Amino acid sequence: MAATAPFRWREPSVLPGFGLALGLTLTALSLVVLIPLAALFLKAASAGPADIWAIMTSPRTLAALRLSFLGALFAASINAIFGLILAWVLVRYEFPGRRLIDAAVDLPFALPTAVAGIALAAIYAPNGWVGSLLAPFDIRIAYTPLGVMVALIFIGLPFVVRTVQPVLEELQDDVEEAAALLGASRLRTIFTVILPPVLPALLTGFVLAFARAVGEYGSVIFIAGNVPMVSEIAPLLIVIKLEQFDYAGAAVVATLMLLISFALILSVNLIQARARRRFGDV
Amino acid sequence: MSDAALPLKTNDLATRRDDRRVRGESVAVQILLIGLSLAFLLLFLLLPLITVFVEAGARGWEAYKAAIFEPDAVAAIRLTLLVAAVAVPFNIVVGIAAAWAIAKFEFRGKNLLISLIDLPFSVSPVISGLVFVLLFGAQGYFGAWLKAHDVQIIFALPGLILATVFVTFPFVARELIPHMQSLGSADEEAALTLGASPWRTFFSITLPNVKWSLFYGVLLCNARAMGEFGAVAVVSGKIRGLTNTMPLHVEILYNEYMGAAAFAVASLLAGLALVTLALKTLLEWRFGDAIAASRRH
């Protein structure tokens, strides 16, 4: 069809309002999102190569980026494991309170991050409900990098559950039954029959949780302790640079963060597309 | 395992139990997995929520009331409502327009447009505020011009609104697009053929068709708008009584070691979150078909 039809920007339609709707969307998108983001890149670029390099490679910047990205990686991995188990339990098992728990999974989406932040700090502080239990073993969570992980796990949990759950719901029982009746052990059935089609959704959930965790600010800063080089996350470093009116420095760190996350998200999307070709649509 | 190879009639209760033996886990494994899930949720979700209300009530009812009706807290509540009252309707209008263009028409660059609309989701909240400081701050690109014309955006209401609109931009559109796509445009075409005006078609056909997914999107958009912290923290300047929203007020109180007051204000936001969750769950149960499509990404 594409070969015979002449090139056109849009297919003809009897419905009205295309120009108005698209115009409004593009105007709002440009004013609110695209131009401001362009200003960020422009500001970062205006710092000049030498300054950009100096900001990028300063030990404090590197430490903050390392904590944000490795912390997000760790938290997203924990979320992938427990999110998968949780989705499985919610889809497959019947137990009292299942629907309530299903609804509660979305709490991190709904609870403002500052509220989550002060609550987590209170719980995991040395005199808090959980912190005081760990204190005798000399384990400290709040005000250490571990505290950062706790907050990031909280914030990323729903992403994995909500992407994996619909795929588990749609799995056909007969394939599993066939595997079992043909003599496969339950573990073998899980790893060779159930998990492969779930894997792309799990990866999507992992990436969503990771992307959210990298940029997370509100729930982290209360529990992190914010010690430079130790428990200072990249978004906080941006805020600190802004408070010192170091606009260029803030813009460079922000641009670096955005570029690394976009590159990671893009590469996982490419892996996804490849997996989809192999295993069919998710 | 092999003794379970019975004829499988799924409607029969007895064979269902056998069926579970074929494709389910043993009871011990089930209990283990359920226990593990519950423990994880208790530690990471339930405990924080309980803490908010317990700490809020720690000093008693009078202290709770005092913390909420204190003038700075009232100003913060007002400001939060005001920001949401501007940002949410803006995103409703733009979200509906975007969904109309994307769901009802075929055009080039559509996938790019969808990705750009989703872009704010992958930008750190702090960066969402930073971009506006770079544009409108004292040393920003338009800073000098704004100062000359006596317009203040950063450390003032317009900045708070802009930052909030940025972070909540995708919510309405991304709920509406899949739903409107699945509905197609036959209803609208019929209405137009029968002589209805374009606006009438929109208001009496399209809008009623998608009202529940619209409501769902607005619900999530509003929760984020009222609870946003990072983006508004950067543009607000945190002037008490003037540019302090509720989440920022919580932060200030907490940092001043006024824990009970911080948790009292936080409990209002937690209450909002619970109402949001309850409505969201209700919508998913009653109108799951309309909203189901949107839960898939």
pLDDT of residue A196: 86
In DSSP notation, B222-288 reads HHHHHH--HHHHHHHTT-TTTT--HHHHHHHHHHTT-HHHHHHHHHHHHHHHHHHHHHHHHHHHHSH
Nearest Cα of chain A lies from the Cα of B147 at a distance, in angstroms, of 17
Average pLDDT over residues A203-224: 93
pLDDT-based confidence at residue B285 (cuts at 50, 70, 90): confident
Instruction: Check whether residue B157 and residue B97 sit in a common domain.
Output: yes
Q: What is the residue whose two structure tokens read 């011990």? A: B28
| SS3 call for B57 | coil
Contacts of B44 in chain A (CB under 8 A): 150, 153-154, 157
Asked if the A48-279 domain carries CATH number 1.10.3720.10, the reply is: yes
Instruction: Check whether residue B46 and residue B68 sit in a common domain.
Output: no
Distance CA B216, CA B209 (A): 13
Q: Is the pLDDT of residue B228 over 50?
A: yes
Q: Do B116 and A34 touch (CB under 8 A)?
A: yes
Instruction: Check whether residue B155 and residue B267 sit in a common domain.
Output: yes
| B156 DSSP assignment | S
**Among A67, A31, A55, CA closest to B116:** A31
Q: Could you tell me the residue range of the domain that residue B214 belongs to?
A: 60-296
The residue from B13, B41, B56 where one domain ends is B56
Distance CA A238, CA B123 (A): 13
Averaged confidence pLDDT in chain A: 89
Which token pair is A69? Answer: 């990205």
Q: Which of A195-199, B9-13, B24-28 has the lowest mean pLDDT?
A: B9-13
pLDDT of residue B64: 94
Identify whether the C-beta of residue B60 lies closer than 8 Å to the C-beta of residue B267: no
pLDDT tens-digit map of B198-214: 999 999 999 999 999 99
Q: Is the pLDDT of residue A98 over 80?
A: yes
Q: Is the pLDDT of residue B22 over 70?
A: no
Instruction: Check whether residue B106 and residue B173 sit in a common domain.
Output: yes
Instruction: Check whether residue B26 and residue B162 sit in a common domain.
Output: no
Could you give the angle at the alpha carbon of B165 between the alpha carbons of B238 and B168, nearest 5°?
105
Among A108, A204, A218, beta carbon nearest to B229: A218
Amino acid at B91: N
Instruction: Check whether residue B150 and residue B243 sit in a common domain.
Output: yes
CATH number of the domain to which B279 belongs:
1.10.3720.10
Instruction: Check whether residue B169 and residue B266 sit in a common domain.
Output: yes
Other C-beta atoms closer than 10 Å to the C-beta of B230 total 29
pLDDT-based confidence at residue B124 (cuts at 50, 70, 90): very high
Residues 98-137 of B with CB under 8 A from A: 98, 100-101, 104-108, 113, 116-117, 119-127, 130-135, 137
pLDDT tens-digit map of A100-129: 899 999 999 999 999 999 999 999 998 889
Predicted ipTM of the assembly: 0.89
pLDDT of residue B3: 43
pLDDT tens-digit map of B151-194: 999 999 999 999 999 999 999 999 999 999 989 899 999 999 99
Among B38, B49, B107, beta carbon nearest to A10: B107
Q: Is the pLDDT of residue A99 over 50?
A: yes
Distance CA B272, CA B120 (A): 23
Q: Do B169 and A33 touch (CB under 8 A)?
A: yes
Average pLDDT over residues A133-146: 88
Identify whether the C-beta of residue A171 lies closer than 8 Å to the C-beta of residue A197: yes
Distance CA A52, CA B283 (A): 49
Average pLDDT over residues B102-126: 92
| B204 DSSP assignment | I
pLDDT of residue B5: 44
Number of domains in chain B: 2
The residue from B56, B72, B96 where one domain ends is B56
Instruction: Check whether residue B151 and residue B17 sit in a common domain.
Output: no
Average pLDDT over residues A40-64: 93
Q: Where are the domains of chain A?
A: 18-47, 48-279
Distance CA A66, CA A75 (A): 14
